[in-house]
Structures are given as structure tokens and as C-alpha cells.
Amino acid sequence: MRYRQLGKTGWQVSAVSMGCWGIGGQWGPVAEDEAIRTIHAAIDLGVNLFDTADSYGQGISEELVGRALRGHRQNVFVATKVGNFARRAGHPLSYLTPEHVYLCCDASLGRLKIDAIDLYQCHIGTLEDPSVFLEAFDRLIERGKIRHYAISTNSVDVLRRFNRDGRCASCQINYSILNPGAANDIFPYCLENGIGTLIRGPIAQGVLAGKFTENTTFDDQVRAGWNQGEGRERFLRQLRQVERLRFLERPDRSMAQAALQFVLAHPAVTAAIPGAKNVGQIRANARAADGELGESELARIRDVIAS
């Protein structure tokens, strides 16, 4: 495993870390014991950052992360997010007052069974006015409940507003071969301002694993919209792009691993946080950190993206 500094935190985090949305159940059922085995396997492989959110499975993901990290807390960094709790259920909080953030923070600490959250991230990527979150995060740092704060967004304008005091430690960004737009604006801003990056969606919600076909349908909460209409058309377009990327497959490297290596090749990227629902997936993800794409492969990928 390779390690990189996460922005202003000074922490050395694993280049491939673990996204924990999948174990919350919204991508299909995951047995509790399998989720915990997966996190333990990640630790054994050198993964030292685990990213979750209070909204993942309405707290289930945080609970499982908390159980799995008992006895390992001193060796890992815990990142979670606030701002979307109960939104998928149609009952979001307004977040018009810092008290909502304090409430959610205390609830996350309880589920995670920890005294302080290492990286607390605003989960509202379209945030117009960050004042409530910034006030809350400052107070939470003073109270010792969080160590650093960040935001999850692909909007450079949102990030600029959120970083108005220059204290945003990192930004969680959706970036992949199939979604490369961040390289045009938000990545340069992060580099210029010493902001670390955690990359979500590096395998494009599974599409870049190269295992789906035009007949694949989805029954999980997240990808159900891919079964018809514009969502289906977009999915089929992505499949055609994936077919043009088959040159990345080798006996010693899967499509998914190549997709992770593409993400890690960008100088603004601190860590990729692909999800994993079982031990086999986390082992394959972690191995991607041990290799890299060649310049000719990166050039061919850029040609596919541009066409």
C-alpha cells in the first residue's frame, strides 16, 4: 500500500481507502459479519481511512464501521458526513441552524463508538451558504468532537465558499474515467490551496469493472434509475465507452484496478475510496495501489474520453 498526505491534516492516508456506503445496505443486502470481515481485511492490507456517512443505510454503515474498528481505532482515520440524513426517506433536516449539525455529530459519535471524528464532511454538494456548517464545525473542533472538516462536492464555486477561511482540509469528489470533469476546475483549485481529495465513484458505481452488459438490470436503491429512461440511455452509453477501454485488462490487472490507477495518476488525488461489500473486493481494490498505468495507456484513455 502507498500513502499520501491528506491536505492540511498532515495525515498519511492509504492511496486506496475504503468507502463504506455499500455496507449500509442501499446497494443490496450485506451481512453484518461479512461487512466486519471486509473492514478487518482492509486494515490487514494497509487501508487506514474509512469513509462513511450518517445517511448510509440511515446510520447502519456507521454502526458497522464502529463495531469493526473496536481495538483498531489508534491505527485508522474515520471520515463521516453530515447533511443528508433521512433525505432519501423524504424527511431531511433543514440544517438551518448549527444545532442540527451538533445533533447529527453526537449521533454519529454514538454509532461509531468513538470520542472524536477525524474528518467531518458536509454532505450537501450544492450548498449555497456554508455559514451554518462552518460555525458548527468550528465549535465542534473547539469541543474536541471533530479534528478536521471538509466537504463533498464537485462544484468549485461551492468549495471556494466553503474554504473562505482557508481551513477546509479536503474535498470529496466524484471522478473517474467516465466522469473526468473534476480535472478541469476543482482539482486545480485543490492543488493551489493545499486541499486534499477523496475520490468517490472511481469505478463509476461498478460500470468500470467491465462486468455489466446491455441486459443488466438493477434492483438496489442507488441504481434503480438506470433501468429505464434517461438513466438507461446514459448507462448504455457508458457501456460502449467501457468496451473501448478493454485494452486495460491484463491477466495481472482487472478493469476495476486500472480504473483506480487512472484516478491515482492525477497529482491532485490523495486517495480513492471505492466501496467494498466483501473481502474479495477489498483485496482487489487494495492491490490497485501497488501498480500504475503507463503513459501510453493514459494517452489512450484520454483519447477515449475525448471522443
CATH label of the domain that carries residue 103: 3.20.20.100
> Residue 239 is placed in which grid cell?
457501456
Q: Give the DSSP letter string of the chain.
A: --EEE-GGG--EEESB-EE-SGGGTBTB---HHHHHHHHHHHHHTT--EEE--TTTTTTHHHHHHHHHTTTTGGG-EEEEEES-TTTTTT------SHHHHHHHHHHHHHHHT-S-EEEEEE--TT-S--HHHHHHHHHHHHTTSEEEEEEE-S-HHHHHHHTTTS---EEEEE-BTTB-GGGGTHHHHHHHTT-EEEEE-TTTTTGGGS---TT----STTTGGGGSHHHHHHHHHHHHHHHTTGGG-BTTB-HHHHHHHHHHTSTT--EE--B-SSHHHHHHHHHGGG----HHHHHHHHHHHH-
Integer-rounded Cα Rg, in Å, for the chain is 19
Below-70 pLDDT ranges, the chain: none
Query: What is the structure's pLDDT at 131?
Result: 97
Question: Is residue 306 a part of any domain in this protein?
Answer: no
CA 219 to chain centroid, in Å, comes to 22
Domain count, the chain: 1
> Residue 94 is placed in which grid cell?
433543514
Query: What is the structure's pLDDT at 222?
Result: 84
Question: Is residue 241 a part of any domain in this protein?
Answer: no
Question: Is residue 210 a part of any domain in this protein?
Answer: no
Cα→Cα distances 190→18, 155, 168, 187, 258, Å: 21, 12, 10, 5, 24
Question: Is residue 304 a part of any domain in this protein?
Answer: no
Question: Is residue 57 a part of any domain in this protein?
Answer: yes
- Sign of the four-CA dihedral 123, 129, 133, 138: positive
Query: What is the structure's pLDDT at 285?
Result: 97
Question: Is residue 136 a part of any domain in this protein?
Answer: yes
What region, left, alpha or beta, does residue 228 occupy, with left being phi > 0 and alpha being psi -120 to 50 degrees?
beta
Residue 189 falls in the annotated catalytic set: no
Q: Which has the closest alpha carbon to 202: 118, 88, 284?
A: 284
Between CA 145 and CA 143 the distance in angstroms is: 6
| pTM score over 0.85 | yes
The distance in angstroms from the start CA to the end CA of the chain is 34
Query: What is the structure's pLDDT at 167?
Result: 96
Query: What is the structure's pLDDT at 90?
Result: 75
Residue 96: how many other CB atoms lie within 10 Å? 9
Q: Which has the closest alpha carbon to 195: 150, 134, 240?
A: 150
Question: Is residue 307 a part of any domain in this protein?
Answer: no
List the Cα angle 160/164/167 in 5-degree steps: 105
Between CA 57 and CA 42 the distance in angstroms is: 21
Q: Which of 56, 95, 149, 175 is catalytic?
A: 56
pLDDT tens for each residue of 246-305 = 999 999 999 999 999 999 999 999 999 999 999 999 999 999 999 999 999 999 999 988
Q: Using the structure block, give the residue that is written with the C-alpha cell 473481502.
A: 279
**Domain, as residue range, for 79:** 3-205+256-293
- 56, with CB counted inside 10 A (0-12, 13-18, 19+), is buried
Query: What is the structure's pLDDT at 88?
Result: 73
Number of residues assigned to the chain: 307
Question: Is residue 265 a part of any domain in this protein?
Answer: yes
